[in-house]
Structure 1
Amino acid sequence: MNGYARPQRKALLLLAVALLIAGCSGAGGAADGGRSGANASAGPERTVPAASSPYASVVSTLQADVPKMMAAAGTVGLMVTLVDGNETLWSEGFGFADKQAGTPVTANTSFHIGSVSKTMTATAVMQLVKEGKVDLDAPLRQYVPEFTLQPAGAADAITVRSVLDHHSGIPGDVFNGLFTNGGPNPEFRAWLVQALSAMYPERAINQEWAYNNSGYVLLANLVEHVTGSSFEEYTRTHVFDPMGMTQTSFDDAKVDDANLTANYSVAANDDGTPGEPQFQEREYINGWAAGSVTSTANEMSKYLQMLLADGQGADGRVLPAGTLAQMWTPQLSLPIDVLYFQMGLGFALGDPALNWAGPVVQHDGATSWNYSMLQLLPGSTLGVFVSGNTAAPENVAPAVAAKALSRAYTAKTGAAAPPAATLPTSMPVANDSAVAADYAGHYATANGLDSVTADADGALSWARHLGTPAAATSALTPLADGWFAVAGDESTQVQFRTIDGRRLLVSRVPWGPAITEMMSGELLPASSIPAAWAARLGTYLPVDAEPRTTSPFANPTATLADVDGVLMLQLPSEVGSGVLQPASDRQAFTFGIGPALGRGKGNVLQMTATGDSFVFLGVTYRKQA
C-alpha cells in the first residue's frame, strides 16, 4: 500500500517502492496449486471490443505487448481493465494466478489492490462529509478521540482534510503487523493507536506533503464512530453495493485462496534480467482503510465507470454529483512540495507520462507482492486499472496502464502522444568556488546518505548511497541554466535549491513526453556524532515485533552506524536506512527529504532507561551482546 515511490519502486518494492510484502498458502487455505483464479458468477473471464470498435486495434496491440512487458519485468500474473464511460472496453488476465498449477489469471481473479484502496476510503469519508456528519476541517480527534501523539495535545490540530491529502504529519509508515503471513492481525488498528500515543508528529500539520498510511488507517475508526457500523459493513453497503461490486471487500481474509492470486517475488540477475519467480505465502493487510481491498478486473471496471459518471454506480448513486470534482481539486500545495503530481482528497492529480492528454486522476498501490495502478482521463471519460502479482525490481503495472490509456485516448480523439522528452541542453560554464562551497556537505535522501564535495577550484562531486555496495561518485558540471550535468548519467540533472530556509538537492529527469522535477535530498547541518550516541553504535535485535510481519516489512535487525561521520539507523525492510539527528542523549529524529518528500522523516528513536534498547515505530530493539 506504499504508493508514490515512483518512478522506481525501491529494490524489492518500493517502494523494493511501495510502498509502500514468503512458500505456502495462508492458514486455513489451499496449498499452492489449489487456485481456480476466478470468482464464480462474477462476470465473463475476458471482455474485448468488437472488431468494428475503434478500440479493437488498440486492444489487440496491447494483448501482444503486455506479455512481452511482463516477461521483461519478471511479472508472473497481471490483470487489466479499460473503460470508456459506462462501457467496459477490455477486461482480461495475463500469465498465472498460480504458476505451479498452471492456473491462468482471468478477469475474475482477485488481486490485492494496495493503496488504490485509499480512494475508496476517501469516498466513504466524503459520503459522510456530504451528509453533514463530518467536517473536513475539523480535528480528526473530534471523530477519533482515542488518537493521540506526544507531547499531549500534539494531535489536536490535525484535520480530516490533512489526512486525506497527506499533510497531517502523523507518523506514516508503521509497518509492524500491518502486513502479515499465516492469518490476519485483527488487533493491528488498536495496536497502532497505542503505538502512536508514544510517538511524536513527523512534522507540524501542513508543513510538507508526506505519504501517510497511518492516517488512513485511522479513517476506519472515523467511519465506525460516526456511523455506528463496522468499517467493512459500511463500505460494503454504501460504497461497493451501489456499484454492484459483490466480489470486492476491505476484509481480505474473507477471500478464499481459490479466488485470490498467488504472489511472487523476483530478484534481478547479475545481467539485469529478472530471475526465477519465487512463490510467496499469502499476505493479509491489516490496516484496512489504507490498502486491504481485494478486487477483480471486472469489478474494478465498475469502479472506474462510477468515477467517470460523477458518482453514479450501476445500482445506485455512490457520491452526490459534484463531489468527485471536489475530490479532484488540488488541495494544499507548498513550495517545498516538489512532486510530479498534486494531491486532491484521496486521489493524486497529474502524471508526467499522460498530462498531454488532459487532466489525469490517479492512484497507485503496493502491498508486499502486488503493485497496482488506477488512472483516469475524466475529460475524455477514459479509465484504466492494472494490477500485477509479482514484486520485482521493475513494476510493470504503471507502464501497462499508461500505454493502454494513451493508446485509447489516441483512438478516441486522433491526438497522438508527443515524442519522449530529453533533458534540456545547456552550455557548461566555469565552476564558481564560492558558490560550490555552499553546496558541499552531507545530504539525507529517502533511503540513505549522499555527499557533495567541492575542490579548491569549485569542482563538485556527488557521492551517492554512502556506506552501501551501490556507492558511486559522479562529477557535477555546472550548466548555463543553473542546473548541473551528472557525469555518466545523461538522464539526470541536478540543482541546489533553498526553500523555506532548507538547502535541497533537486533532480530533473525525462518522464515520457515531460521533464519532471523530484526531490533528491536535504543538506544536513554540519555536526559530529555526540559521545552518548557514538557509544551506542552496533546491531540491535527486535524484542516485541509482530512475528508474522511479512518479510519486506520486517526488521530482523536494526543497526546504529557511523557512515562517513553521520549517525544512521539502518533497517533491512522497506523503511530503509535513514539519517538520525540527535535531539538529546535519549532522543533522535530521522532527518531529511527525498523522492517521496518527507516520507519516513521526522520519526523519533527513543532510547529506553536501561540504555541498551531503543523504541522505533512501535518496536523495541535491544543491543546484541
Structure 2
Amino acid sequence: MSPKLLGLPVLGILLGSLGCNGQPPSPPSIAPGDYASIIRYLKQHIPREMAEHQVPGFSIALVEGQELIWARGFGLADKNRGLQVTENTAFRAGALSQLLTATAVMQLVEQGRLQLDSPLQATLKEFYVRSRFHDDQNAADQAVTLRRLLSHQAGMPAEYLRDLRTPHILGELPQKVSGVWLNNQPGTRTAYSNLGYALLGAAIERSSGVDFEQQLQTRLLRPLGMSQSSFLGDSSHLPYRTRGYEDGAVSVNAPVRDVPAGGLWTSPRDLSRFVRMLFAQGRYQHRQLLSADSVNEMVRVQNTGNVMDFDCQVGLGWFLSPCGDEWVRPGIRTWQHSGSGNNFHAQISVLPEQQLAVIVMSNSGTGEALAQPLVPQILRMLLQAHGEPGEQGAQVNQPARQLAARRRVPEAADRQQLAGFYATAYGVLRIRDQGQRLFGEVGGIRFELLRDEHGWLRAQKKLLGFWLQDLGDLGRVQLDVVSVQGHRVFTAKSHGQLLAVGERIDPVPLPDNWLATVGTYTALNDDEANTPMSGVDIALEDGFLMIRSLQQGRTLTDYILAPVDNAHAVIAGHGPGLGDTVRRQINGVNVLGYSFKRTYNSNHLRF
C-alpha cells in the first residue's frame, strides 16, 4: 500500500487513531444496479466527513468494468483564490506513483530492454551495494533484482536522505547512492523502499534512452488519455493542481527527487483510465499498452515464503491484501495502494474479480482518516449494486468496559518474558514489568498490557487511574509476542490479519569506541534546503546505545543503535528506517549520505 502498510507497521496506524469515535454510520442498503443511491449518499456523506477531518479538498472516482460510474470533486483546491476542486483537479498521488512506474518497467521488459530477474546493475552499471548478508560483492549486487525492487524485497533502505529534496537528478542518483548498505537480505522480507523505486526510474531512463517523464507520457499517460497527469512540477505550475494544507494553512511546495516513487500529479478520473486498462488485460481503446501476461504477473503474490511478512501479500507495485486495513469482505481478492506525504493523501482499492474500483484523493494529510473507513464502505455498496448481497465488513466493537471486564494482568513469568525493548519503525517500544503489572510505551503514549479471555495482549489506559480512555484501534487490536526464525516479534492482529510491529532487541556489550560516540550532533549539509534532519543525539539507556533524530531542536523519534564493527552500526530491527547503517567518522557520524558533527559530548548522558 504505502509506507504504512507493511513498510510502516500497523502500530503507526494504531497510534494515529487514538481517540477515534469508533465506526462511521452505516451506509444504506443498495439494490442491484442502484448506483444513483450510492452517489446520492456520498454527496451528503463526504462533505460532512471533510468538515470533521478538516480536509479542504477531496476528489473521488468509482469504476465498474469499462465504465466510469462517477467522478466528482468537493471543496477547495486553493483557498486563497477560492478555486474549487473539480473532477479534473490534479493532486499529489504520493506512493500511487509506483503503480505507473511498475507498469512502465513491465512495458520495457516486454520490449526486451529490461529483464525482470536480472540485477539492477545490469542496467545501471555504476550502481553497487554493500552487504553484511553476502560473502562477496558480486553476490550482493546480483541479489538486487528488478523483481525484488518492484515488490520491496531488495533489502534497500527506505530513503537516501542526501539530496532528497533536490529535483531533476534522477540520472545522477545511481552514482550518488552507490555503496549504500543493504538493510536486510534480499528476497527474505518485504520492507518498503522509495529509494528502490527511484532507482527503477533511473533504469527506465537508461534502458529507454529518454527521460522518465517523456517515457511515461509517450508510452502510458497520453495513450490512456491521462491529460491531467505528470511527474513534473508542483501546484504553482498549472492552474488545475491543488495546493496542500496542514492545520488549515497552505503548505510549502516541497520538491521531490524520487519522482518515480512519489512525484505523480493526477486525478481520480485520470487514474480510472489506468484501472480500466488493467481490467481489460492491458488494452485501452483498441490499443494494447501492456500484455495480459504482464498484468497477471503484477498482481501475482511475490512474497510467498517470507514468514516475517505474515498475512501481508505484495505483487509488483500492488499490495494484494489489506495488510491490517479493514477487509471489504473477509477473503475477497483486492489490489490496493495508498500514499501520504507533502500534506496530500491518495488511495486506490480494486476488487479485480468483480471489476470494481474506488479512487480517492485529498489535499490534506488528515484525508487518510477520512479515506480509511470510507473506501471499504463504498466498495461494499458497489458490490450490492453489482448484484451481490449486502454483508457487513468489520463487526461492531464492544464497549470498552465490557471488554475490560474480561481482561487480566499477565502472570509474573509472562510479564518477565514479555518485558524488554522492541525496535519498531515508529521508535522503541518499551515494555516494562512494574508494580506487578505490565506497561508499554512508544511515541510518548503509555498504556497497560492485559491478557484477554483468548490469551491475546490488549492495550488499555485509564484516566486518573479510574476511567477507561479511548485508545482507538490500539485498544481493540490483538497483540502478542511470537518467536519466528530465532526472532522475538511483537505482532498485532488487525481485522483478522497478523502483522509484524517490532522485534525484541536484547542488550549486548558495547565497544568503547561506540560508547565514545555519546553526544549531540548537528548536520553539516548546510548547502541543502529542507533537510529531513537537523541533528541527532546518541545516548545510553538501560545498556542500549540509542540514537534520536532531531529537526530544528525537536526530537522526532528514537532507535536502538547496534554496533557491527569499529566503524559501523545498524539501526536495530526490520522495517523502514530500521536496518540503516550508521558510520563513524572523525568527530562525527554519517547516516544515508548525511554527515553530522559532534556539538556536545558527555560520557554520562542518559535519556
Q: In structure 2, how many angstroms separate the alpha carbons of the residues matched to 1:419 and 1:212?
A: 31
Question: In 2 relative to 1, CA 430–61 (structure 1 residues): closer, same or farther, beyond 3 Å?
Answer: closer
Aligned match of 2:227 = 246
Q: In structure 2, how many angstroms separate the alpha carbons of the residues matched to 1:384 and 1:6?
A: 24
AA partner of residue 588 (structure 2): S
Matches within 5 A, 1:528-539: 529-539=510-520
Given the alignment of the two structures, is residue 620 of structure 1 paired with residue 598 of structure 2, yes or no? no
CA contact (8 A) 2:96 2:339 kept: yes
Question: In 2 relative to 1, CA 93–429 (structure 1 residues): closer, same or farther, beyond 3 Å?
Answer: closer
Aligned match of 2:465 = none
1:234 aligned residue (215, 237, 244): 215
CA contact (8 A) 2:409 2:449 kept: no
Q: For structure 1, which segment, 96-105 or 529-538, has the greater mean C-alpha deviation from structure 2 after superposition?
A: 529-538
Question: In 2 relative to 1, CA 65–393 (structure 1 residues): closer, same or farther, beyond 3 Å?
Answer: closer
Given the alignment of the two structures, is residue 286 of structure 1 paired with residue 265 of structure 2, yes or no? no
Aligned match of 1:505 = 490
1:96 aligned residue (76, 79, 87): 76
Question: In 2 relative to 1, CA 227–250 (structure 1 residues): closer, same or farther, beyond 3 Å?
Answer: same
- How much does 1:618 deviate? 0.8
AA partner of residue 158 (structure 1): V
2:126 aligned residue (132, 146, 149): 146
- How much does 1:295 deviate? 1.0
Q: Which runs of 5+ in 1 are unaligned?
A: 15-50, 267-276
CA contact (8 A) 2:188 2:306 kept: no
Identity %: 26
Question: In 2 relative to 1, CA 89–79 (structure 1 residues): closer, same or farther, beyond 3 Å?
Answer: same
1:605 aligned residue (570, 578, 582): 582
CA contact (8 A) 1:113 1:371 kept: yes
CA contact (8 A) 2:174 2:202 kept: no
AA partner of residue 515 (structure 1): G
**Helix, strand or coil for the counterpart of 1:579?**
strand
Aligned match of 2:346 = 372
Question: In 2 relative to 1, CA 572–455 (structure 1 residues): closer, same or farther, beyond 3 Å?
Answer: closer
AA partner of residue 590 (structure 2): V
**Helix, strand or coil for the counterpart of 1:343?**
coil
**Helix, strand or coil for the counterpart of 1:247?**
coil
CA contact (8 A) 1:496 1:504 kept: yes
Q: For structure 1, which segment, 155-164 or 564-573, has the greater mean C-alpha deviation from structure 2 after superposition?
A: 564-573
Matches within 5 A, 1:95-244: 95-150=75-130, 152-153=137-138, 154-178=140-164, 180=165, 185-187=167-169, 190=172, 192-244=173-225
Q: In structure 1, how many angstroms separate the alpha carbons of the residues matched to 2:16 and 2:536?
A: 19
- How much does 1:167 deviate? 0.7
Q: In structure 2, how many angstroms separate the alpha carbons of the residues matched to 1:379 and 1:52?
A: 17
Aligned match of 1:35 = none
2:308 aligned residue (334, 337, 340): 337
**Helix, strand or coil for the counterpart of 1:390?**
coil
- How much does 1:264 deviate? 0.8
CA contact (8 A) 2:190 2:309 kept: no
Q: In structure 1, how many angstroms separate the alpha carbons of the residues matched to 2:42 and 2:10?
A: 22
AA partner of residue 344 (structure 2): N
Q: In structure 1, how many angstroms separate the alpha carbons of the residues matched to 2:410 and 2:254?
A: 53
Q: In structure 2, how many angstroms separate the alpha carbons of the residues matched to 1:340 and 1:265?
A: 34
- How much does 1:75 deviate? 1.2
CA contact (8 A) 2:347 2:361 kept: yes
Given the alignment of the two structures, is residue 387 of structure 1 paired with residue 364 of structure 2, yes or no? no
- How much does 1:434 deviate? 4.3
1:560 aligned residue (529, 538, 546): 538
Question: In 2 relative to 1, CA 303–602 (structure 1 residues): closer, same or farther, beyond 3 Å?
Answer: same
1:297-334 superposed Cα distances (whole Å, 9 cap, x missing partner): 32122112112221112362221123222211101234
Q: In structure 2, how many angstroms separate the alpha carbons of the residues matched to 1:147 and 1:583?
A: 24
Q: In structure 1, how many angstroms separate the alpha carbons of the residues matched to 2:280 and 2:66?
A: 7
Question: In 2 relative to 1, CA 604–6 (structure 1 residues): closer, same or farther, beyond 3 Å?
Answer: closer
For normalisation by structure 1, the TM-score amounts to 0.82
Given the alignment of the two structures, is residue 486 of structure 1 paired with residue 459 of structure 2, yes or no? yes
CA contact (8 A) 1:347 1:362 kept: yes
Given the alignment of the two structures, is residue 441 of structure 1 paired with residue 420 of structure 2, yes or no? yes
**Helix, strand or coil for the counterpart of 2:429?**
strand
Q: In structure 2, how many angstroms separate the alpha carbons of the residues matched to 1:292 and 1:96?
A: 22
Matches within 5 A, 1:14-93: 54-93=34-73
Aligned match of 1:296 = 267
Given the alignment of the two structures, is residue 421 of structure 1 paired with residue 395 of structure 2, yes or no? yes
Q: For structure 1, which segment, 127-136 or 279-288, has the greater mean C-alpha deviation from structure 2 after superposition?
A: 127-136
Please give the root-mean-square deviation of Cα atoms over the aligned residues, in Å: 3.0
CA contact (8 A) 1:374 1:385 kept: yes
Question: In 2 relative to 1, CA 423–497 (structure 1 residues): closer, same or farther, beyond 3 Å?
Answer: farther
Question: In 2 relative to 1, CA 340–64 (structure 1 residues): closer, same or farther, beyond 3 Å?
Answer: farther
CA contact (8 A) 1:150 1:200 kept: yes
CA contact (8 A) 2:545 2:560 kept: yes
Q: How many residues align?
A: 555
1:60-112 superposed Cα distances (whole Å, 9 cap, x missing partner): 10111111212222211111111111111111111110112221111111111
Question: In 2 relative to 1, CA 131–188 (structure 1 residues): closer, same or farther, beyond 3 Å?
Answer: closer
Q: In structure 2, how many angstroms separate the alpha carbons of the residues matched to 1:415 and 1:78?
A: 29
**Helix, strand or coil for the counterpart of 2:200?**
helix
Q: In structure 2, how many angstroms separate the alpha carbons of the residues matched to 1:120 and 1:244?
A: 14
